[in-house]
Amino acid sequence: MLNKNVQSALNEQIKNEVFSAYLYLSMSGYFEAANLPGFARWIRVQYEEELEHALKFFDFVHDRGGRVTLHAVDQPPSDFHSPLDVFQRALAHEQKVTGMINNLYALAVQENDYPAQVLLQWFVSEQVEEEKNATNIVEQLKLVGDNGSALLILDRELGARKGGGTKESSQGAAPT
CATH of the domain at 110: 1.20.1260.10
Range of the domain at 151: 4-70+78-163
Which candidate, 88, 70, 72, places its Cα nearest to that of 138? 88
Residue 109 lies in a domain: yes
How wide is the angle at C-alpha 36 spanned by C-alphas 34 and 42, nearest 5°? 125
Q: What is the pTM of this model?
A: 0.90
Q: Which residues of the chain have pLDDT under 70?
A: 164-176
The per-residue pLDDT for 162 is: 85
Residue 176 lies in a domain: no
- pLDDT digits 0-9 by tens, 84-123: 999 999 999 999 999 999 999 999 999 999 999 999 999 9
Using DSSP's 3-state secondary structure scheme, residue 4 falls into helix
The domain tally of the chain equals 1
Residue 115 lies in a domain: yes
Residue 169 lies in a domain: no
Question: What sign has the CA pseudo-torsion 143, 47, 28, 158?
Answer: positive
Residue 120 lies in a domain: yes
The per-residue pLDDT for 80 is: 98
The per-residue pLDDT for 164 is: 56
The per-residue pLDDT for 71 is: 97
Residue 171 lies in a domain: no
Using DSSP's 3-state secondary structure scheme, residue 9 falls into helix
Cα–Cα distance, 104 to 175 (Å, whole number): 36
Q: 154: Cβ–Cβ under 8 A, 6 or more apart, which residues? A: 38, 39, 140, 141, 144
